[in-house]
Amino acid sequence: MREAKRKIQVTGGFTHILSLPIEWIQKIGLKKGDNVHLFLREDNTILVGEEKKRESLDISISVDEKDNIENVYRLVVAYYLAGYDFIQIITPEEG
C-alpha cells in the first residue's frame, strides 16, 4: 500500500493526531515510543521519515595553487550534496 487516506483526530482540543497504516509501521520497523521526523514540503505534502542516528561524515580536500578554483568549488558542493557534515580544505600553508 503506497497511499492511504486518513482523518485528522483532535484530542484535548489542541493536539491533532494522524494515524499511520500498520503495514507501513511494520515495513519500516517502527515501534511504540520511536521518534519520526515530519517535513512539510513546498507543495504542502508531509514527508514522514524514521529518525536515523548516524556518524558524522567528514572529508578533507588537499588543494594547491595549480588546482582550478571552479573544480574545487564543484567538489565542495558535491560533498555537501552527498550529505557530508564537515568539509575541510587543506592548502599547502596548512599541510
Ramachandran angles phi, psi of 17, nearest 5°: -120, 140
Q: Is the whole model's pTM more than 0.85, yes or no? A: no
pLDDT for 1 equals 67
- Domain residues for the domain of 65 are 58-90
Location of C-alpha cell 519500516: 28
pLDDT for 47 equals 83
43 and 21 in a common domain:
yes
Domain of 42, CATH number, reads: 2.10.260
67 and 35 in a common domain:
no
User: Does residue 95 lie in a domain region?
Assistant: no
User: Does residue 4 lie in a domain region?
Assistant: no
pLDDT of the chain, 95 residues: tens digit per residue: 688 899 999 998 889 998 989 998 898 888 888 888 888 888 988 888 766 666 788 999 999 989 999 999 999 999 999 888 899 999 987 55
pLDDT for 53 equals 62
